[in-house]
């Protein structure tokens, strides 16, 4: 998988990947409102000191994810998606490690996020990668679990991934 920084030509494939991940979740928010940040990646993520990556396999978008800077040293991990039919093959781990590495290099020391409680495999994925449950809440009508992780330079060096193209 090749990881590249988001560019406008990835908008439609990215939205398709995002929408496929929501199948079966009744979020209770209009699609337009729920996807507002995805239509404004440059402003929401990149220009504010965050990052947004697209994973390409044979030129096709199969993964996506980013982080939105919240403060000088904290950010929210957002929109992590891996195409359903290739989950469990290490693409998500590679994407997550690269986002953590880029975040750490930009001064981020704490990454946090929320994800649907109804996705037990997703919850286990983040726990395996050192994220701790810090609370619960709702995203629209979806019950969520909140996670957080303190980024560690030594761990990032051990798990170093490839640079972004």
**Could you read off the pLDDT of 13-62 as tens digits, one per residue?**
999 999 998 777 677 778 888 899 999 999 999 999 999 999 999 999 99
By three-state DSSP, how is residue 11 classified?
A: helix
Q: Judge contact between 41 and 87, C-beta under 8 A.
A: no
Which CATH number belongs to the domain containing residue 31 in this structure?
A: 3.40.630.30
Q: Considering its fold, how many domains does the chain have in total?
A: 1
Q: Within its chain, how far is the Cα of 160 from the centroid?
A: 17
Which pTM value belongs to this model? Answer: 0.89
Confidence of residue 162 (pLDDT cuts 50, 70, 90): very low
Q: Is 14 a domain residue?
A: yes
Within a domain: 134 = yes
């Amino acid at each position: 998988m090749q990881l590249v920084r988001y560019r406008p030509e990835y908008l439609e494939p990215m939205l398709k990947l995002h929408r496929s991940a929501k199948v079966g979740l009744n979020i209770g928010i209009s699609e337009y409102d729920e996807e507002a940040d995805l239509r404004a990646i440059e402003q929401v993520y990149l220009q504010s000191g965050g990052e947004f990556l697209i994973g390409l396999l044979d030129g096709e978008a199969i993964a996506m994810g980013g982080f939105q800077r919240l403060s000088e040293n904290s950010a929210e991990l957002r929109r992590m998606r891996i195409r359903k039919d290739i989950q469990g093959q290490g693409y998500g781990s590679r994407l997550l490690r690269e986002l953590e590495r880029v975040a750490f290099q930009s001064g981020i020391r704490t990454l946090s996020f929320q994800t649907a409680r109804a996705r037990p495999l997703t919850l286990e994925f983040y726990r395996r990668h050192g994220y701790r449950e810090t609370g619960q809440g709702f995203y629209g009508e979806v019950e969520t679990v909140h996670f957080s992780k303190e980024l560690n330079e030594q761990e990032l060096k051990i798990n170093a991934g490839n640079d972004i193209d």
